[in-house]
Amino acid sequence: MRGGVPPGHRGDVDPADPGTDAAPLTAGRARRRQARPLWRWAVDLVLLGTAVVSMLTEPMSIAIHSVLGLLFAGFVGPHLWNRRAWIRGTLRRVWERRSLSRALRWSLSQASLLLVLTVIVTASGLWDWLDGRTKIRWHAISSIILLAVLLRHTWTRRGWLLRRRPGGVR
């Protein structure tokens, strides 16, 4: 038993593996599950690549920085879609007021912070782009915080990213 929940329970999700899916495996789900890793891996790579390259190109070209930033924000949706089983299981546990393990609480807080920061960075970037300059550089400050949290988020999931390579290559 992990966290007071019997193994195999729908709410029993492994916070170390963002791809955990507690639903029973049917023939159709097995086919989808086999096809999914390449897409999931590609979405994660696009998120990582656009975040890094967007930050690096900001001093050189605001246009490239803006396009890559919007691409990053656009890929957050597919990233969350790929993690819908984890999100559903975790939110169900919160809604039912069941206890969450320390690791699951940390993952939930990290995911929530990343989502809020992504919205703030995107909105403040659009605001700056529309020339609504403010005295405080909300976009720059929130971008640095987002990058720090994103690096921590990626670092804690590096085993999953490295283990699940496209085509089953190890």
Average pLDDT, the chain: 76
Give me the half-sphere count of Cα atoms (radius 13 Å) on the Cβ side of residue 166: 8
Q: Please tell me whether the overall predicted TM-score, pTM, comes out greater than 0.85 for this model.
A: no
Give the Cβ contact number of residue 143 at 10 Å.
21
* 8-state DSSP, 3: T
Domain boundaries along the sequence of the chain? 27-168
Between 16 and 67, residue with greater pLDDT:
67
d(CA 78, CA 87): 13
Q: Is the pLDDT of residue 15 over 50?
A: no
pLDDT, tens digit (0-9, with 9 covering 90-100), for 71-121: 999 999 888 888 888 889 888 988 888 888 888 888 888 889 999 999 999
Q: Is the pLDDT of residue 22 over 90?
A: no
d(CA 153, CA 89): 19
Between 81 and 166, residue with greater pLDDT:
81
pLDDT, tens digit (0-9, with 9 covering 90-100), for 24-40: 556 555 555 554 567 77
